[in-house]
Each structure stands twice: as C-alpha cells, then as structure tokens.
Structure 1
Amino acid sequence: MTILLAIFLFFSSICPLAACSEPPPAPLVLPESAQAVSASGHMLMLRDPGGTLGPGAVQAAPGWRALPATVSAGYTDDAIWLRLDVARAAHAPEEWVLRFSNAVLDDVRLYRQDVAGHWTLQVAGADVARGAWPVDARQVVFPFRLQDGETERWLVRLHSKKAMSTELTMWPRAAFDASSRREYLYYGLQFGSYLLLILFHVFFWRMTREAHSGWYLLYVLTNATTEALTIAIPQQIFSMPNWLSDPMLGVSMAMSIAIGARFSTLQLELPALFPRFSRGVVGVTAAAALTGAVLILCGNYAAGVLVVQGTALPLIVLFVVLAAWLALRGHRPARAFLLIFGVFYAGVLVSFLRNMAVLPPNFWTNHAATLGAFFHMMLMSLRLNRRYAELRRAKDMAQAEAVLAVRALNERLEGLVALRTDALQQEIGRRAVLEADLRAALAVETRTREEQQDFVAMVSHEFHTPLAIINTTAQQIARNPDAAWVKTLQRCQNLREASGRMTALVDEYLSADRMETSAATFRPQSCDPRLLLETVLAEWPEGRVEATLPVLPARLRCDPGLLRVALRNLLSNADRHAPQVLAICVHAAVDGDGSLQITVSNPGDPLPADEIPRLFQKYFRGRIAQHKPGAGLGLYLVQRIAALHGGKVTLDSAGGDGVVSFSLHIPG
C-alpha cells in the first residue's frame, strides 16, 4: 500500500509548477453559499532561492507567474511565495479559514495586507510548536475575517524539506468545523479498524506462526504508521516535534517498501515459482530502503525519500506486469493479487489525477487513496483468513487420509506378518531337512576328497619314477652312440619328448588339484629370482626362447615350486601358439613399486574378442587351441599362483599387432 502512496508523492514531487505568462488572475471572491472554495486559478507564484526575501521585497520582485492549479514544486530548498487577492461577497459569512491540504509542511506563513498597506502575520507548520498554531488542527489552518466588498492582498510563504505539494482551500468557519468533526470521525473509524485488524493478526500469528500472517502484520503496521504520520494525526495528538516525526515518517516509508516487496512476492508465490528472482527483488528493495533510511536519519530527508519513492515506481510496475502475465497463464494467486491490490491502485490513481487538477477536489477524490487502502487491507485480511481456512481444511483432510492409510497399512502388515510367520515355520522345517541332507553330502564329499587324494598320491608315485628312469636312459643312449646312430638318437628324442609331455601333464593336474584342495598350503621362502628363471628357461631347446634379464633383486620371497609351474605354463602356452621358426620373448624387470614383472610374448594370431574374458577360466580352451595339446589349466594355474603371491597376471596384448603378451606381477 505504501509503495503506491510513495509513487503518488513521487509524481507529485517531480511534476513542475504549471506556469504561464497570462495576465494576473482575478481575485478570489468568497461566495454567499457558505461552501468551501479552492484558491487554484487565483494565485501567482514566485521562487525565493535561499528564502531571504520579506513580504515587501517579494511583492515588488519580478518573476511572478500565474499558477492555474495546486502547488506542486517537489523537493526544493527554495521558499515558495504565493500571491492571492481575496474579497468577500456581500452576504457571505464573515468567519473563514484558509486550510492547506498537505499536513506535513514545515513552515507556512500568511501575510495579509490591509487597506493601509500594513502586513499582519500568521505562522504555523511542523517547525512551529503546536501550541503556537492559530487553530489546533492536524494541518495548517489560518482563521480570518473580511469586510463586505473589501479586497485584501495575501502573500503565503511555504518552505519545507518534504514535497512542496498542497492545495489552498477557503472554508466558512462553521463548515470547516463540521467537516473536521466528520473527518476525525472517519479517521477514528479507519484507524480503529486498523487497530482491530492489527490485534486480530497478532493473535492469529501467535497461534499459527504462519509466514504470510506474520508478514501481513508487519505490512499493516508500517503502512498504518506511514498513513497516520502523513496526515499528521500523531503529531497533533501527541504534540510531536518535527525532529522526531520527520525521521519516523521517512523510515516508516522505507520499511514499507521493503516489507511490501517481500509480502507481494509471497502473495504471488514467487519464492516457489522463481526463487532466485524473488530473492533478487527483495534484496534490491531492501538495499534501497536501507539506503533511504540512512540518508533520512543523517538529515538528508529529501534525498532519502526520493530513493524510496524512486524504487517504489519500477517495483509496482514490475509486480503489476508480472501479476498480469501470471494471471493470463492461469495462476490463481496472481488473479487475487490484481483484484486486492487493484482497489488501492485505483484509489491512488484517482488521488493523483485530483492532485494534477484532472479531477475536481471533493470528499471522494481527496480520500480516494485512503479509502482504497482501507478496502485493500480488509480484502487482504479476508484472503489471508480464507487461505488459512483452506490450509486447515487441507491439513484436516491430510490427517484423515493419513489415519486411514495407517489403519490400512496396519491391517496389511498384520496379514503379511501372519503369512510371513507361516512361511518362516515352513522354511525352518525345510532348512532342517536341508541341513540333514547337507550333513550327508558333506560326509560323502569328505570321503570323495580322501579317495581323490589317495588317487593323486598313487599317480604321483607310479608315474614320476618311471618317467625319471626313461629320461635317464635316454640321456645314456645319447651319450653312447655306438649303436645305430640315427635310430638311437631318434629314439632318445622321442623318449625325451614323451617324458617331458607326460611330466608337464602330471604337474598340471597335480598343481590344479593342489590349488583347489583345502589341504593345499602356500610355502613362501627366500629364493634367487634370476636362478629360478634360468632354471626354467634351461628346460627349453636352445634358440626357442630369447630372454632379457636385466638387474633383478638378489632375493625374492615366493613359493619356488609354484612359481616354476606358473612360468612353465606361460612358456608352454606361448610355445603352443607361436610358430616354431620364431622365438618366444621373455623379459623380466623390477617395476617402480619394487614388484617383479615377468613378460612372456610370442608371435601369433590375434585372440578372438569374445574369448578374451574367459582366458583365465579353468579348463577353457579357445578355438585356436582346439587342435593343440593341453588341458586348459595353464593360464588358470598362473592366475591362482599369482593370487597366492599377492600379485596378478594380465593380458598386455591380444595379438592385434601380431604379438600376444602376458605379464606376471609378483610383489617384492
């Protein structure tokens, strides 16, 4: 509400004084009808920079201009002089008063010149103590008497740090008294309604702690304070000095636009629709309000109020445009906003048009803004009450639905608990039977494992010894070539190949069994990695393996037997898939983290992409290895042995560049 009032005062302050070069206006004749008459159209105006001129100097000064409407000089440090010739009709009342519509003018002086040329002075205004005013009223009122047919020249001097906007009206004393009584009754009803409204929302907010109600309470308090100070009712009742009332009025206006901006965003539900935009608008408005309040408290009243009023104008335009846009999109709060705030906007517009002399001054145009504000407050209060009632109904409905949902959920849970209890009892019975079956299966498995271990021991004993004898005999034959040389050498070669193949197969099966049996143990010990590698490489024909063994650690903690099996399997795997005319490459080195990396590479066909994820599975043999010897345990054993050592085996190259490469990593 105060935002619109600020706009009204702002436009009134910035509109220039209407001036023309027409002949001097006719004297104002007080009519016989005993009705109030406006001095507009009967006055001349003169600016007095610095306010140093007296009535005699002012009357003789050049630069007087006709003033066809009310005084509207804005915020100025100049003294404004008005010249007015007043006469009384023959049968007009004798007692009259001159009333100024602006209730917060600081310094108002009336100089009356009689027929003898002498000046009489009456002084009033906010800078003057209330007890020294000619008439105890909320605005400046000067009483006077005129003789029949007598014309007096009046000079009115106005000076104020607030907006210089006022209308001069002549009232018969009786009519003025009656109008004042009606006016005080009206203001009493209005502010009594405000008081009831404030008390109601104080209790309402204390009960609900609802944000909208709290902000509305602040909204009503600041706007009612601003309106009361604007019409000078507290100043009259409490004889409030100007040094106190002016800062109160300015700060109240500053607070009003900040609180009004926040309240308007809540009414349009902007925090939910556009949170960042809403915070920005409220923040900018609060900063402008704070700036204006600081300027006012520091004594720069005009500058502070202009900041406040200059902020109010685009803010109102913004809210009206935004509300209209949201209303067209079907946003219900925007429609209510336009209706409730539109009532006050219309009242302020009527008051502004009256101030600009577009509409004639009367009771309705003089009080349009106040009436609009009153109905605006009433409608806003009804809307908040209705909103709270809707929220309460929604809460009651939600609670009722929650009770029904909880009741249904409890019934469902009870049924589920009963079903689950029955299912658990059945499951306990099944598990008891399963436990018995598992115990029987475990006994069978134990017996099977023992039989398998016996079988492995037998195979190890029965096959390793004959194979060792065959290998020794083959070596003796090779060293004694007295027999038929070619035949004996061929037989020796066959014996060695068969012996090596059978030994490898037996080692594979035994190693696989050792990896899977629970009795298998990992026996790490300190060994020489170079000696271990050279021992394994010596098992291959000369030229088949090209080894690169740079600086290796002197000692490595590992299980030498398992590590030999892993190296043999990597070399055997490379030997099966590499052409015989090309060598297998072995490279051993120490990584940056101190681990031993042994890389075995062989030229060969690329590995199929779909087989790569299964390379380390037990007994898996790819399409390339289908027609080559092997049991599908080699890479599986390498992976298991690497895991026992805390290392890993990786496929470095799948043969896309013509080389298949595996790396065995053993931590140092």
Structure 2
Amino acid sequence: MISPPKSIRWLFCLVLGLAGVFPAPASSAAATEPLVLGSGDSYYIAGHMEVLKDPSENLEFRDALAAFERGDFQPMDGNLNAGYGRAAYWIHFSMIRQKGFPEKAMLSLSPSYTNSVKVYVQCHGQSPLLPSSFRPVMLGSDVPVAQRPVLNPNFIVPLELPADEPVDVFVRVYSKGSISLTGVLATPESIRNSTYNSIMLQFGYLGIAAVLCVMNLIFFISIRDRLFLYFALYVLTVLINNFGVAGMQALILPAYAHVLSDYMVYMGIGAQLLVFSEFCHNLFRDSAGPWTLRYMRLMSATGVLTIVSVPFGLYASVVPFALVGTVILIAMLLLTSKKLLVSMPQSGIFITIAFGISTLGYFYQIFRLIGVFPLEPGWDINMIEPATLVHMVLISIALSERFRITERQLGEASREAEKRAKEIADDMTSELRDNKERLEVALAAEQVSAEMQNSFLSMLSHEYRTPLAVIQGNLDILEMHSREYLTSDESSALMKMRRAVMRLVEIMDVSLERSRILDTKVPTVFKTIILRDFVRQQVDAIKWMYPAQSFFVAAPMLALAMSGDLPLLNTALFNLLDNARKYSIPGTMIEVYCRQIDEGVLISVCNESDMLNEGEIDELFEKYTRGRKTNNTSGAGIGLWLVRKIVEQHGGTVRMYWVKGEKVTVSMTIPSFTIDAAG
C-alpha cells in the first residue's frame, strides 16, 4: 500500500487546524474615540468602532442599545473581521462634524456581499438612549436594490450631520459567509468618484477576462485540447465571482441582484474551485505525483460540496476547508510547476510565476476571510482579483505557447500524413495501372475464347442436327409403316422417343444454335404463353423421361397468360423440375403449384431433400456452384444460374426457401395478364 508523503500529511493537518479557526474580533481595553470629520473628503471608521457579538442572532435594536448602556460593547482595533461563524454582530461608532466638513455626507459600508446590514442613525436633537431616536436603514445583499436609498455597488446611507454635535450609529451585521465590515464617511463627490473608479476597474477587469476567455475557447475549438476549455471556464467563474463580490450585479441587473448575489459569490467560489482543480489536473497530469493528482480530485469534490452547501445553509461550515485547501493546492502546484521549467522551459516559467503570485494573493485573502489576518483600513479590496488577473494573463501566455507548439506539431503531422497519402496514392496508381493492363489482357483473351466458343457451338449445332434429323425421319417412317402392328406399350415407347428427339431439338435451338441466354446482343422473341398448358407440357415431358418419379400439379383455374420466350421459359421450368428430381429423397413426391400474385404468376416447385446446408441457399444461384452434399449427383452447377438468368430477362425473380426439417421450395415469378380464352 502506498502511503502519502510527509509533506502531504502536514498540509492536511494545517487544513484541519486553520479551518476551525473562527477568532473573535480583536479587543482593546482603551475606549474608542468619536470620529472627527474635519476638512478631508473621506474618513475610515476603523479604530472608532465598538462590537457586540450576538450568537443567538435574535438580538433586537432595543436590546443592543440596552447592552451599550451597560457597557457590553467592546472596543475594536481596525475593522470587523470575524471570519466564518454562525453569529450576528452589532457595531457602534459615533462621529462629530466640524465646520470644514459638509453637512450632507454619506456612509459607505462594505463588503457588498454581506447578506444583512441594518443601520440605525441618531436623529438630530434626539436622545441617544431611546430606540425611537434612531432612523433605521435596511441594507444588505438580500434587500432588493429598489429599497436602497442610493443605487451603488456598496451600501450607502445618506446623512445630514449637525456641526459640533456627536451622532451615534449602530449597525447590525450578519452574513452567510465571511462576516466582515469596513466603512467610510465621505462627501457625496468623494463617493461618486470612488464608485466611478470602482466601476471602471471592474469593467476593465471584465474586458481582460472576456478576451482571455474567448481566446482560450478559440484555442479549444482549433485543437480540441480540453485544457483550454477548462481554463476558459475558470476565467468565466472568476469573473462572475468577482463581479458578485464587488456588487456589480446591483448596477447590471438591479431587479434580480438580491436573488443572484449568493449564487455569484458563494456558489461562485465552489464552481471556481471545481473548474480550477480540473484545469490543474489536466495541466500537471504528466508531471505531478499520484498523491498530488489525488489531492486535485479531492479539491474538485470539495468544490462540488461547496456549491451544494449553499442552498442547505451549510456554506459557512464547508467553505473554510475549501479556502484553506485552495491555498495548499496552489502551494503544491507552485512546487510542481518547477518540473515544467525543465520539460517546458518557455511556458514553464510563466506557469511558475503565475502560481507564485496566486499563492500570495490567495494566502492573504483567504486567511483574511477566515479571520486570521486583520482587515486594515484601505485594504478592504478583494486581493484575489488582482492576483487572479495576473495569474490568468500569465497562464494564458503559457497556454498560447502550448497552442503554438501543438499547432506546429499538428502542421508537421499534417505534412507527414500528406506525404504518406501521396506515397500511398502513387502506389495505388501503379497497382491500378498494372491491374488495368492485366484486365485488358484477360478481356482480350476472353473475347478470343468467346469467339472460339461461338464458332465451336455453330459447328456442333450443324453437325448435331444431321443425326437428329435422321432419327426423326426414321421414327416417322417406323410409325407410318408399323402403326397397325404396334401394341399400346410399343406405341407409348415410340411416342416417348419422338418427344425425346423434340426435346433435344429444342435444347439445341436454345443452347447451341443461338446461345442467346449468354449473348445479350441477340434479341429475345416474346410470345403469348398460356400458363396452364405451359406447366403441364413440361411436367409431362419429365414424367415421360423419368416415369418412376411422382409429381403433383395444382394447375390454376383461371386462364392466365404470360408474355415470354417459350423455349427459354421451357428450359427454366424443366431445369427446376429436373433439379427437384435429382436431389429429392427417393420415393417422395415433387409438388408444382401455380397461382396469381400482385407481381404476376408464381410457379413453385417443392421437394423433400437432405442435401442442403444452412447458409448456402443464396450461393446455389451462382455459376458453377453446387451444394456441399451433392458430390455423388451429376451436374455442372449451372442449372439454377441459368434459371435466374432466364427469369431476369423476363423481368421476374426467382427465390429458394428452406427451413431444416421442411420441404425445399424454389419459386419463380413472371409478369402475367388475364385473357378471355376458355380454359
């Protein structure tokens, strides 16, 4: 079993130790002094505040005022920075305006993601000991923007301050996330200028982030490297989170700002951690150790857990672990990025510097959020924002180098593939040229062979007709002179001989003399054929030749006719009947069926056979192909092929059907029409 390195174990101990730190605000024994407003434009309230912690979160203003009278408020140095915890805080400070400061002023409170900020300002000339003497102003990210007194990313409270008269202010602060508060008293012009500068800064950040996001998306689309997609998503999540932290949603979408705030800030942190961890896992998967990669996966799961914790109210308990874990992750990546200085010197230096700067920015901001570092006056900005900006720019430069290298490699691979494809094309062209030459030689040889075959068949036809004519003539003389003396059996035998001679003449006409089945140049002569007579003649012919074979014929009742070449169709049907006879089981009957279908006339020949194998039916219609079990039966393997050729010349089809244990059926379909002739 592999054990994690000691450094990893110490980092996990640091996570557990720091994540549980929720320090109370720093206190001082000295009493706070009122804030004196002189000739300046703005004054921070840090150092002039007193704080009261409300663990129950139920303390009302009158209770807080009573606690102030009892002296329960504790002086606080700096700003409120209580970290993550389930408590509300009451802040008190007082101020005195001198004649050099304008009467109309504004109190600006931040951060703008604080969920609830209730401000109670003492009215002029009223007693500071009565709750009715204070004017309440309800602010916070959960309060609709329309109910705020001033439209501003921060929480603004307009004030009218009497000269040389102290004014008390109480503020109740509660947040689902980090609880902190910083404030400044300033003139309206100073608030307007600072707001303008903040908006310009945020939209400048938006422009840079948008360019980086689009650029990496273009890189991803170009080379399909998921690293660029993860980084584009990381830039997008950082942008959304920083906009939420800065309160820009109040200006962009004021009607929905109170709904979107928690999602942009709290869920944004979880989404940022998730995408960043996946980006780092893809970036360092070849250089980081196995435990570092496992830790990245752990932080991805932590990001998902942070997102899920927001709607369930567990964000404050989960996010300290996520934030401290992020600092540890960046520190680990800083150490791991050193390996890239060797393998990728040009981009490795940018990655190392980027993670170094990110480590400092995240270290300060995260430990400030959990209350380890104080929130100093003038340092209430989001330190992650400039750190991530520099980080994103440097990483984009490094990824641009990676894109350039990948594009160069793709170009080299493309050129190599093009070269290889050209070589293959040349080889194929040479092979095709050789095949063409061989094919031309084969075609020439086949043409010579066909001419020789036709010459031979013409000679054979001529020589074969002479003995057939002699036999036919002698049969006619024998029948004419011996008709009165022949018995019935002798007459039947003489008739069979005559039909056999007629069959030989017909075969010679089809196969030898014209050879038109194979020669497509010879036109086919179509005539009207009566189906019933056609079928009976062929069945009778084969019965006379093979009287031992039993046949059953189901002739059609209707007078159906076909248009076709009678000698060719005779050959086709005779071949089917002869095939069925040769391959039937001895003693079984051959059945012939005729019926009309939509396509024409269907003639089926059925027989029982044990000479077929499954899967060879379609092969039997190929030329010179016979069944594997027919070695002991005479034949050349052209019967069914010849049937198919004849049927196709007539625009029909031929099929064979067979299921093991059942009869073999060969059917041919010929186009037909109905005639009025009597059956």
TM over 0.5: yes
Aligned with 2:610 (options 574, 583, 605):
605
The answer on 1:108 being equivalent to 2:116 is no
Tell me which residue corresponds to 2:7. Answer: none
1:600–1:661 contact (8 Å) kept in structure 2: yes
1:638 counterpart letter in structure 2: V
| 1:394-443 Cα shifts (integer Å, max 9, x gaps) | 233345556666777888899999x889969x969x96x997x7897688
Report the CA distance shift for 1:64/1:106 in structure 2 as closer, same or farther (over 3 A): same
1:108–1:158 CA contact under 8 A, matched in 2: yes
The equivalent residue for 1:545 is 551
Q: Deviations over 1:81-135 (max 9, x none)?
A: 9999xxxxxxxxxxxxxx99978855324599999x9999787978696451369
1:649 maps to 2:649: no
Q: Does the C-alpha gap of structure 1 residues 262 and 570 become closer, same or farther in structure 2, counting only changes over 3 Å? A: same
- Are residues 120 and 326 of structure 1, via their aligned partners in 2, closer, same or farther at CA, if it must alter by over 3 Å? closer
The Cα offsets for residues 350-383 of structure 1, whole Å up to 9 and x where unpaired, read as 55665xxxx7xxxx42349957941x33432332
Alignment counterpart, residue 645 of structure 2, candidates 640, 648, 653: 640
Distance 1:465 1:617, change over 3 A: farther
Cα distance in 2, alignment partners of residues 158 and 220 from structure 1: 30
How many Å separate the matches in 1 of 2:570 and 2:668? Answer: 12
Counterpart of 1:151 in structure 2 is none
Q: Residues 251-270 of structure 1: matches in 2 within 5 Å?
A: 255-256=264-265, 263-269=272-278
Deviation at 1:464, TM superposition (A): 4.1
1:381 and 2:400 aligned: no
Which stretch of the first structure deviates more once superposed, 309-318 or 466-475? 309-318
Question: Which of 539, 542, 560 is the matching residue for 2:566?
Answer: 560
Q: Tell me which residue corresponds to 2:458.
A: 454
Aligned equivalent of 1:303: none
For residues 323-362 of structure 1, the aligned pairs below 5 Å read 350-351=367-368, 354=371
Query: Matches of 1:166 and 1:405 in 2, distance apart?
Result: 56
Secondary structure at the aligned position of 1:517 is classed as coil
Mapped partners of 1:383, 1:466: distance in 2: 110
Taking a change above 3 Å as real, the CA distance of residues 370 and 522 of structure 1, as seen in their structure-2 partners, is farther
- After superposition, what is the alpha-carbon deviation per residue over 1:586-645, rounded to whole angstroms, capped at 9, x for unaligned? 111223x33322111233433356875553344556676666665554323212111212
Alignment of 1:50-89 (within 5 A): none
Amino acid at match of 2:242: N
Q: Which amino acid aligns with 1:524?
A: F
1:271-296 deviation line (CA, Å, top 9, x unaligned) = 9989xxx9xx99x97xx9xxxxxxxx
1:569 and 2:597 are equivalent in the alignment: no
Partner of 1:616: 621
Amino acid at match of 1:546: F
Q: Give the Cα–Cα distance (whole angstroms) in 2 for the partners of residues 158 and 519 of structure 1.
A: 108
Cα displacement (A) at 1:562: 1.2
Name the SS of the counterpart of 2:388 in structure 1: helix
> Contact conserved, 1:584 with 1:602, CA < 8 A, in 2?
yes
Q: Do the aligned residues in 2 keep the contact of 1:340 with 1:379 (CA within 8 Å)?
A: yes
Q: Do the aligned partners of residues 343 and 648 (structure 1) sit closer, same or farther apart at CA in structure 2, a change above 3 Å counting? A: same
What is the CA–CA distance in structure 2 between the aligned matches of 1:224 and 1:520, rounded to whole Å?
A: 88
What is the CA-CA distance between 1:532 and the residue it aligns to?
1.3
Q: What is the CA deviation profile of residues 53-98 of structure 1, one whole-angstrom value per residue up to 9, with x for unaligned ones?
A: 799xx86x9x99967799999xxxxx999999xxxxxxxxxxxxxx
Indicate how the Cα distance of structure 1 residues 552 and 262 shifts in structure 2: closer, same or farther if over 3 A, else same. Answer: farther
Per-residue displacement from partner, 1:117-156 (whole Å, max 9, x unpaired)? Answer: 9999787978696451369xxxxxx975xxxxxxxxx997
Distance verdict in 2 for CA 1:618–1:220, change over 3 Å: closer
Instruction: Answer whether contact 1:226 1:253 (CA < 8 A) is retained.
Output: no
Which residue, out of 577, 583, 598, partners 2:589?
583
Change in 2 beyond 3 A, CA 1:382/1:347: closer
Residues 453-485 of structure 1 deviation map (CA, whole Å, 9 limit, x = unaligned): 5325414632443343355456568853358x9
- For the residues of structure 1 that align with 2:206 and 2:336, how far apart are their CA atoms? 26
The one-letter code matched in structure 2 to 1:395 is F
Contact kept, 8 Å, 1:111 with 1:119, in 2: the verdict is no
Q: Which residue of the partner structure matches residue 526 of structure 1?
A: 528
Match of 2:224 in 1: none
C-alpha distance in 1 between matches for 2:90 and 2:311: 27
Candidates 197, 202, 216, aligned match of 2:207:
202
1:133 paired residue number: 161
Decide whether aligned partners of structure 1 residues 318 and 372 sit closer, same or farther in structure 2, where only a CA change above 3 A counts.
same
Q: Structure 2 stretches of 5 or more lacking a match?
A: 1-18, 34-45, 83-87, 94-106, 140-148, 150-155, 217-230, 283-295, 341-350, 673-679
Q: 2:512 is matched with which residue? A: 510
CA distance in 2, matches of 1:325, 1:518: 82
Alpha-carbon distance change, 462 to 367 in structure 1, aligned in 2, over 3 angstroms: farther
1:327, CA displacement in angstroms? 11
Residue 90 (structure 1) aligns with: none
Residues 365 and 453 of structure 1: CA distance in aligned 2, closer, same or farther (over 3 Å): same
**2: CA distance between counterparts of 1:44 and 1:313?**
15
> 1:365 aligned to 370, 374, 389, which one?
374
CA contact (8 A) 1:603 1:660 kept: yes
Instruction: Say whether 1:396 aligns with 2:400.
Output: no
How far apart in 1 are the matches of 2:445 and 2:53?
122
One-letter code aligned to 2:550: R
Could you tell me which amino acid in structure 2 is paired with residue 587 of structure 1? Y
Task: Name the CA distance, whole Å, in 1 between partners of 2:254 and 2:428.
Answer: 79
SS at 1:523's partner residue? Answer: coil
Q: Does the alignment pair 1:665 with 2:665?
A: no
Shift of the 40–206 alpha-carbon distance from structure 1 to 2, 3 Å rule, reads closer
| CA displacement at 1:527 relative to structure 2 | 2.4
Indicate if the aligned counterparts of 2:576 and 2:640 stay in contact, CA closer than 8 A: yes
Query: Which aligned pairs between 1:86-165 and structure 2 lie closer than 5 A?
Result: 105-109=117-121, 130-133=158-161
Moved more, 622-631 or 329-338: 329-338
- Three-state SS of the structure 1 residue aligned to 2:560 is coil
Shift of 1:310: 7.0
TM-score w.r.t. the length of structure 1 is 0.56
* SS of 1:607 mapped into structure 2: coil
Q: Structure 1's 337 and 217: CA in aligned 2 closer, same or farther, altered over 3 A?
A: same
SS of residue paired to 1:665: strand
1:480 is matched with 484
Deviation at 1:547, TM superposition (A): 0.2
Given that residues 607 and 665 in structure 2 are in contact (C-alpha distance below 8 angstroms), is that contact kept between their aligned partners in structure 1? yes
Q: Which amino acid aligns with 1:392?
A: S
In the alignment, residue 586 of structure 1 is paired with which amino acid? Answer: V
Query: Residue 191 and residue 583 in structure 1: after superposition, are their counterparts in 2 closer, same or farther (change >3 A)?
Result: same
CA contact (8 A) 1:110 1:121 kept: yes
Aligned counterparts of 1:44 and 1:421: Cα–Cα separation in 2: 84
Residues 422 and 397 of structure 1, relative CA distance in 2, 3 Å threshold: same
Residues 110 and 504 (structure 1), Cα distance of their counterparts in 2 relative to 1, 3 Å cut:
same
- 1:664 CA displacement: 1.9
One-letter amino acid of the counterpart of residue 161, structure 2: W
* Equivalent residues in 2 for 1:199-278, closer than 5 Å: 199=204, 202=207, 206=211, 209-211=214-216, 216=235, 219=238, 223=242, 226-227=245-246, 255-256=264-265, 263-269=272-278
Q: Does the Cα contact within 8 Å between 2:320 and 2:370 map onto a contact in 1?
A: no
